[in-house]
Amino acid sequence: MTGAEFSDRPLVAGSVIGLRAFATLPDGTLVSPVFRSYQWTEGENVASCEPDSLAPSAFRLAATFARILGIAAPEHELLALRCGCGFYGYTDGSNDMMRTGFWMYPVAGLIEGYGRCVVGSRGFRAEKARLVALIADQPGAQYRPRLYEGRAVLTLVRTPNGVRQINAFTPGPPDWSAIRSRYPDVPVYPTTTAALAAHPFTSTEEIR
């Protein structure tokens, strides 16, 4: 075994817990508000780069321009500093996709990130993640944009057998009955405060 096979990332025992937002599909499935092709499952979720996602990607744009200009495409290693992939969580009390209203009816939740991670002053992105808790209140509702109001949204989803298909649906308020049915082992708390009392943030400042 050569030295190149060893990662130079510091190895830390434990994981990181952070707050994040989800979009919901009509059947209660949680997806990223941005990369809606990924459907969250109970247990372990593993991140991968999504070159065929319908969502914008700075990396893909850079790769396209590099190809046009005939220069080397930017290096892209999953969960490296220059990569934007991974499951995002925030550890400073903020929750970007709830705040910016990228999705009309976001749902907040806590995730536990581990494996290869990039940790910053506000939070992390992780190679692997588990759903820890969901939060029933909707503090981001006032931010919801009118962009999607009454309009169909297209999502590219990957079925369990690997087939990609485009789904169209009109977003609506989260169906908590469907969400609970889809994720029966994930506790739902009435407020963020209650969820954090049971599953406190990880102090990323101490880790870093």
Partner 1 sequence: MGNIGDDPREIEFEPLTQPTTAPVPEEVPA
Please state the closest distance from residue 28 (CB atom) to partner 1, in A.
Answer: 16
- Of 34, 47, 107, 179, which one interacts with partner 1 (CB under 8 A)? 34
Nearer to partner 1 among residue 25 and residue 183 (C-beta): 183
Query: What is the rounded CA–CA span in Å between residue 140 and residue 100?
Result: 8
In the numeric block, the tokens 């991974």 are attached to 86
| Residue 84 within binding range of partner 1, rule CB under 8 A | yes
Query: What is the rounded CA–CA span in Å between residue 26 and residue 101?
Result: 19
- Site residues for partner 1, window 97-116 (CB under 8 A)? 97, 112-116
Nearer to partner 1 among residue 12 and residue 66 (C-beta): 12
Tell me the three-class secondary structure of 138-165, residue by residue. CCCHHHCCCCCCCCCEEEEEECCCCCEE
Are 148 and 105 in contact by the 8 Å Cβ rule? The answer is no
Give me the amino acid identity at 36.
R
- Of 130, 144, 155, 174, which one interacts with partner 1 (CB under 8 A)? 130
Are 156 and 37 in contact by the 8 Å Cβ rule? The answer is yes
- Of 2, 121, 142, 161, which one interacts with partner 1 (CB under 8 A)? 121
Query: What is the rounded CA–CA span in Å between residue 88 and residue 65?
Result: 27
- Of 2, 5, 71, 185, which one interacts with partner 1 (CB under 8 A)? 185
Please state the closest distance from residue 193 (CB atom) to partner 1, in A.
Answer: 19
Binding mask 4-23 for partner 1 (x = CB under 8 A): ---x-xxxxxxxx-------
Are 202 and 16 in contact by the 8 Å Cβ rule? The answer is yes
The footprint of partner 1 (CB under 8 A) covers 7, 9-16, 34, 42-44, 79-81, 84, 88, 90, 92, 96-97, 112-126, 130-132, 185-186, 199, 207-208
